[in-house]
Chain A
């Protein structure tokens, strides 16, 4: 699929015919092509096994693409390690609970900044805590004692320590109440509005589409559709195919 150059924002991330998987016999991405732009939330949706999380893992260097090209600000980043990508400005919040439960909130944040110079770390932690007052209140508590919403805030805060220009986030709503999901989505929206490129995988599609700019529908490891999020939310047929809704019966 051709990349839409007509849109205003510059593509920060470009996937071009990327083939990747977990073993030579298990190919998940079959020539995936898309782009994600600065200041936008790009939402990856699709049925289970479509390759959504695999896109994020491949982009973050946890999986190596077998062919194709991944570009970040026009530079090829195919063979880069997570550590190098973090230094480049790409951060990843994986699916599920990602804190180190036996460590305190502060120690979790310090680990998030392990690649930063020691002199900068305290100031960066303060910067993150200013954004998350709830986390500041619980700074010396063990991370496992935080509520689900607080844990997700801490995970996002930890990723923001490095001031990433691209934030990859995999199913942030898992295990959260509807109110907390809205809080997390509002936060991601604010980050995108401030210029961060947010690439999000989310099963809670109806809510996520309200906050996203674009939705990419993946099917069998290929891009099946690339549409503005608002447009997709109103599409009854896509509801049936991807969102679990119902298509109205044709009139007799």
Chain B
């Protein structure tokens, strides 16, 4: 079959596939929204934590997957958002004011962290961002007067919504799920716009992108800043979820796990972070019945995934579809 005929066949198979995919996504979202009705409070907590982490990994997917900028500092922005929220919410400031403030602060810090990316790339950039994460972690741990040090900040209040309390685990889960869906929809809109495609151009070849008039300085900085703002928002929800913040969840190991989520799901694929976040948040919990072996099995599963599916879990249906057309 010729290349053109291949493409026409692929386009024909894609349209109904797309419709089916949209219906499947809607069913999965509704099922996930109803899932906690069947779970105990720890299960609902995990579902909420999944949503929170998803906000941060979606941001990282923009930075790493779409714009091709290596980052090992996402947990630092997550932490900055969480500490801003913990301090401000305890001081009685409205959640709905804290949320944009944390996003803006992380956006600005993200812009600054983007500057090394203008000079260095790949593993050099990975180390620059890792250094930033360690620095932020040390500030959280050592600046006790502000952050509470290793004792952290406890008693962070949860918000209300139109006067309704969100203190219940179920109510807060639905609130977080709605916020996550809004954030994902906004990122989807951005990534499907010409500006979003400029990020992909930057990742594929910055010189080519520049020759089309794309301002690669601005887009490189924005890739970090938007990714950081998403992590900052996630951090605010994390503080309200756990109602306690301490430095440990923002160690650079958390950044590594977020990067793992991007790669396992499929770097630069829109729904890649969903699969990846299932792997980093839920899979370790499901493997707990293995007791002492669970981390070893988790590690083995990740290594096996990377060997068989270097394009991430979401590359499976694509391979299958192409195989069917070519046969």
- Interface residues of A, Cβ cutoff 8 Å to B: 60, 62, 82-83, 86-87, 92, 94, 98, 100-103, 107, 110-115, 118, 121, 137-138, 140-142, 145, 147, 158, 162
Contacts and interface: CB of A to CB of B under 8 A. Distances in A.
A114 B208 CA distance: 13
Given A102-B204, A111-B212, A140 B11 contact: yes
B215 interface: yes
A100 B205 contact: yes
Nearest to A101: B204
Interface in B176-215: 194, 197-198, 200-201, 204-205, 207-215
Contact of B211 (A92, A140, A147): A92
B210 A145 contact: no
A100 B214 contact: no
B11 A110 contact: no
B243 to A, nearest CB: 43
Interface in B1-18: 3-4, 6-7, 11
Given A83-B215, A112-B212, A147-B3, A107 B207 contact: no
Contacts of A137: 4
Interface string B293-305: 0000000000000
Interface of B: 3-4, 6-7, 11, 194, 197-198, 200-201, 204-205, 207-215, 268
9 contacts: A98-B205, A100-B205, A111-B201, A111-B212, A112-B212, A113-B194, A115-B212, A141-B7, A147-B3
A83 B268 CA distance: 26
B212 A145 contact: no
User: Majority SS of interface residues in chain B?
Assistant: helix
A114 B198 contact: yes
B4 A83 contact: no
Contacts of B194: 110-111, 113-114, 118, 121
A94 B7 contact: no
A158 to B, nearest CB: 7
A145 B200 contact: no
B4 A138 contact: yes
B303 to A, nearest CB: 26
A19 B80 CA distance: 49
Given A100-B201, A100-B204, A114 B213 contact: yes
Nearest to A94: B211
A-B pairs with the 10 shortest C-beta distances?
A: A115-B213, A86-B213, A83-B213, A141-B7, A100-B204, A110-B194, A92-B211, A98-B208, A107-B197, A100-B201
B11 A82 contact: no
Contacts of B268: 102
B201 to A, nearest CB: 5
B67 to A, nearest CB: 13
B211 A100 contact: no
A111 B211 contact: no
A158 B209 CA distance: 12
Given A86-B213, A111-B214, A145-B7, A94 B208 contact: yes
A110 B197 contact: yes
B211 A102 contact: no
Contacts of A110: 194, 197
B182 to A, nearest CB: 24
A141 B4 CA distance: 9
Contacts of B210: 62, 82-83
A16 to B, nearest CB: 24
A110 B196 CA distance: 11
Nearest to A134: B4
B215 to A, nearest CB: 6
B215 A62 contact: no
A111 B213 CA distance: 9
A141 B208 CA distance: 20
A98 B211 CA distance: 10
Given A100-B200, A111-B194, A138-B7, A62 B214 contact: no
Contacts of B7: 138, 141-142, 145
B17 to A, nearest CB: 14
A138 B6 CA distance: 12
Contacts of A115: 212-213
B203 to A, nearest CB: 9
B197 A111 contact: yes
B284 to A, nearest CB: 32
A107 B194 CA distance: 8
A103 to B, nearest CB: 6
A107 B198 CA distance: 10
Given A111-B212, A147-B3, A103 B11 contact: no
A158 B211 contact: no
Contacts of B208: 94, 98, 100
Contacts of A162: 213
Contacts of A111: 194, 197-198, 201, 209, 212, 214
A153 to B, nearest CB: 14
A125 to B, nearest CB: 12
Contacts of B211: 60, 62, 82, 92, 94, 98
Nearest to A162: B213
